[in-house]
Structure 1
Amino acid sequence: MRRNAECLMQCALSVPFLCMSTFVSAAFFEDSTIALTNRNYYLDRDYKGDSPISAVREWAQGFILRANSGYTEGPVGFGLDLTGMLGVKLDSSPQRSGTQLLPIDPQTRRAKDEYSELGATVKARFSKTSLSVGTQLPSLPVITASPARLLPQTFRGASVTSSEIENLTLQAGRMDRVNLRDSTNNQPIAMASPNGRFKSGVFSDRFEYLGGEYRFADNFTARYYHADLENIYAQDFIGGIHSIALGSGRLKTELRVFDSRESGRAEAGKVDNLNAGLTLSYLTGGHTLGVGYMYQTGDTAFAYLAGGEPVVLSDGTMSADFVNPKERTMLLRYDYNFVAMGVPGLAAMIRYLRGTNIDLPSLGGSNLTESSKDLELSYVVQSGPAKDLALRIRHAFYRNDLSSGASFRSDNETRINIDYTVKF
């Protein structure tokens, strides 16, 4: 284990220096950044009611090293980014594995003691346009590299970002492989299919997206993206974020609309879903009060990539995704930033989601429900030797009336994260 960690550090730190003879540019080195994130993660999911297993419970330590170069000089600048990751088992057993913190043997369900990977990205920049090829961590409505476990999900492919036109940012990309959160190898991309929503075991070698956002004013941004997972599904997203002063605070409005349908040979089956979500949040002092509603129509569930979470109104929930066929979801959320009480770095959140009208005849009926009560407390050390040390504690009470064959089952879930990033 120690040998793997040392090799990971040496590779990520040495490659930029080995490039010195090729990239003769001070900016290539002067604008470089190196950061190592130490992540300690505990996940405990205690199932309730009729369930084939009683709980999954694991504890692991992760290391995420990011070494990003600057760009060479000239009309077109070139650079190199490296991402090294190592995960180490601290506690697990075959009876409690399956949290997706660690890879497991499918026959014995025993978690690996450690796993690691190294990703490289070659990048180029011209004016206000940049191109990257290699390991990708996109964060867009139609494709997001999930950061919700010990090590983040990554994709392999190419992406372009351009801001040549004032207030307009355009983005395009093509991905051909994905590295899941509890895996060390790239594999073809699939559509998520919890609760048996779509045909499983279907993969694609190409995911493409195109779109961007336009800032009409300082307080209003509109977004549009089109995506296609070849021969599986196509999706259009339109959204907007607007804020306005109101009384002693500000009112923020966010709209997200996804239109999904089958693509090409429709190898995973029919896809027919319209998902529209609207949230209103009022911020005043340290308080933020939010309400939201998500409406789904069509014959199937929402379509999104396997290994991550959908970027919809329910984004951030721990035990379910709330995007079953015909589901309607209500959201209530309250956040408090304790900086208003003179305690910077301390924040708390409470959230309630309730989904109704779920149409899953094979799992219990056509008017099923689910709900989640989420609590969160986080603190980031502001100064001293432990500056930027972050502690995050989350707990969820999730319940549904689906049958025991459902992917998401009633549970009480606890997650504890301790992150500390060192910049070199």
Structure 2
Amino acid sequence: MLNSKKITASVLLFLATAPQNLKAAGFIEDSHGTLMFRNFYFDRDYKGETNVSARREWAQGFILNIKSGFTEGPVGFGLDLQGMWGVKLDSSRDRTGTNLLPVDRHSGKAQDEYAELGLTGKLRYSQTELYVGTVAPQLPILISSPARLLWQTFKGGYLQSKDIQGLTLHSGYLNRMNQRDSTNYQKITIAAPNGRFNGAAESDEFIFFGGDYKYSQDLTLSYFHARLDEIYQQNYFSFIHQKKIGPGELKTEMRYFISDEEGEGKAGSVDNQNLGLAFSYSMGPHRLTLSGHLLSGDTAMPYIASSEPHTISEYALSSEFINNDEHYWNVRYDYNFAALGIPGLRTMFRFMKGTNINLPERLGGKNQSETERDIEIAYALQSGPLKGLALRLRNARYQNSFAPNASTRDDNETRINIDYTWKIW
């Protein structure tokens, strides 16, 4: 396991060994470095019949990002470095499992600290860039999760091209993943809450390609294809349309996933279609969103373990609402307090409900349901020496009708984040 001294030594070596001829060519001049301080408190208090009363931990994270510029010439070269270090502030054996800290498999205790170092080589030709090494895709078919102390990362290659006006193309090949609470890279697996798939099935290859096309000023179209070798394949279609209506703006979004098993289907049968629609109207500091999705097919929707599924229910705190045959709807209200003279202060209220859920008999069988209520308050300093210091408080109340032995249980969850990013240069 890497520690803070090893990360510091690697950073110094990275800077000291940069060739002089690169310094004059933009490799150093266009570089920049930041250090994020992330303080994270996670409290999930379970209700009802459960063998675990709570998942509750507190930790401090440090995320260092050093990004070089590109060398001059038709083909530019660069190198990025990312160092991440997590430190335990509070935990106990009966409260682990928040994914903030690694847990020792023998003692059951959270580790006092953990760290990792990632290097990414990059190449640029015209408006096309290739990244090889440590990557963290933020794409509809794979969102590398930033939802805990440290980020989820992957090993492989990622290509992005903007050479065609209005069109952004993406493609990539990944063969290993590093989870949010881990220092070790492992083969890629599928998310399997409530045993919906075989979560132990592993793959050495995740391939994807696709793109976003800005058809007009108001309309953006997207298509992506992804394949987790021998486990599942997925096609994604979407459109986003924005239009001024009255005093505000209406945003309409459609997301459609079609998923099947791939090759040997090592994780079991995969047969799912997820069609989602969202309508959002913004007027001044107010935004009201109504959305929902319908799942069909014989299974739940698949996605990479610990990543964030890009569904209409994205970033729900306690559930993803993508069980077999689930019918989901949500109402959300956002308010920006800048209108009241408090820039940087925002709040959000959201209610979500899923019905018609088809679970195995051991978990309750057909016609199950789940609900979640989220409240969020966020504030970021807008000026002064600590400009950018951000406080985020989120609370969720989750309930379902599943059997007591389901892995998703009723809970009351609170997350508190304090983030500050220091610009080194």
Same fold (TM over 0.5): yes
Residues of 1 paired with 2:377 and 2:118: CA distance?
33
Other-structure match for 1:165: 164
Show the counterpart of 1:419. 419
1:164 Cα deviation after fit: 1.0
Q: 1:253-268 to 2 correspondence within 5 Å?
A: 253-268=252-267
Contact 2:142 2:308 in 1 (8 A): no
Residue 370 of structure 1 is matched in structure 2 by: 370
Q: For the Cα contact (< 8 Å) 1:209–1:227, is it kept in 2?
A: yes
How much has 1:11 moved relative to structure 2? 1.9
1:131-153 deviation per Cα after TM superposition (whole angstroms, max 9, x unaligned): 11000010001011100000000
- Once the two structures are superposed, the pairs formed by residues 242-257 of structure 1 within 5 Å of their partners are 242-257=241-256
Q: Map residues 119-130 of structure 1 onto 2, 5 A cutoff.
A: 119-130=118-129
2:393 aligns to what? 393
Coordinate RMSD, CA, aligned? 1.3
Q: Could you tell me whether the CA contact under 8 Å between 1:391 and 1:417 is conserved in 2? A: yes
Residue by residue, what CA displacement relative to the aligned partner does 1:188-226 show, whole Å, maximum 9, x if unpaired? Answer: 001111011012310000000000010011221111000
Which residues of 2 match residues 321-340 of structure 1 at below 5 A? 321-340=320-339
1:382 aligns with 2:382: yes
- Between the aligned partners of 2:106 and 2:9, the Cα distance in structure 1 is 34
Instruction: Determine if contact 1:16/1:80 at 8 Å carries over to the other structure.
Output: no
- Whether contact under 8 Å (2:130, 2:160) holds in the other structure is yes
Q: Select between 335-344 and 175-184 the one with higher mean Cα deviation.
A: 335-344
Scaled by the length of structure 1, the TM-score of the pair is 0.98
Report how far residue 311 of structure 1 moved.
1.0
Is 1:105 matched with 2:104?
yes
8 Å CA contact 1:89, 1:112 repeated in 2: yes
Which segment is superposed worse, 305-314 or 29-38? 305-314
Distance 2:12 2:214 in 1: 38
Question: What is the letter of the counterpart of residue 365 of structure 1?
Answer: G
Any conservation in 2 of the 1:13–1:67 contact (CA below 8 Å)? Answer: no
Post-superposition shift, 1:298?
A: 0.2
Once the 2 structures are TM-superposed, how far is the Cα of residue 21 of structure 1 from its aligned partner? 4.1
3-state SS, counterpart of residue 88 of structure 1: strand
**1:25–1:265 distance in 2 versus 1, CA, 3 Å:** farther
CA-to-aligned-CA distance 1:249-282 (integer Å, 9 cap, x gap): 1001111110000001111111000001110000
Structure 1 counterpart SS, 2:307 = coil
SS of 2:382's equivalent in the other structure is: coil
Separation (CA, whole Å) in 2 of partners of 1:365 and 1:342 = 51
Determine what percentage of the aligned residue pairs are the same residue: 51
Task: Report the 3-state secondary structure (helix = DSSP H, G, I; strand = E; otherwise coil) of the residue aligned with 2:165.
Answer: coil
Q: Measure how far apart 1:30 and its partner are.
A: 1.0
Mapped pair 1:210 → 2:212: no
- Give the Å deviation of 1:351: 0.3
Q: 1:30 is paired with a residue of what secondary structure? A: coil
Q: Given that residues 392 and 417 in structure 1 are in contact (C-alpha distance below 8 angstroms), is that contact kept between their aligned partners in structure 2?
A: yes
Point out where structure 1 has 5 or more consecutive residues left out of the alignment: none
CA contact (8 A) 1:372 1:399 kept: yes
Distance between the aligned counterparts of 1:377 and 1:13, measured in 2? Answer: 39
Q: Aligned with 1:29: secondary structure?
A: coil
Contact residue 25 and residue 73 of structure 1 kept, 8 A? no
In structure 1, what is the equivalent of residue 284 of structure 2? Answer: 285
- The CA distance in 2 between the partners of 1:297 and 1:409, in whole Å, is 24
**Deviation, structure 1 residue 24:** 5.1
Q: Distance in 1 between matches of 2:17 and 2:173?
A: 29
Q: How does 1:19-418 map to 2 (within 5 A)?
A: 19-21=18-20, 23=22, 25-360=24-359, 361-418=361-418
Equivalences, count: 423
The whole-number CA distance in structure 2 between the counterparts of 1:131 and 1:316 is 29
Give the whole-Å Cα distance in 2 for the aligned partners of 1:140 and 1:17: 35
Shift of 1:22: 6.3
What are the residue-to-residue correspondences of 1:1-16 with 2, within 5 Å?
4-16=3-15
Q: CA deviation at 1:13?
A: 4.6
The one-letter amino acid of 1:215's match is K
Q: Distance in 2 between matches of 1:135 and 1:22?
A: 26
> Equivalents in 1 of 2:12, 2:313: separation in Å?
39
**Per the alignment, in what secondary structure is the counterpart of residue 195 of structure 1?**
helix
Q: Distance in 2 between matches of 1:222 and 1:105?
A: 45
Counterpart residue identity of residue 401, structure 1: S
Partner SS state of residue 26, structure 2: helix
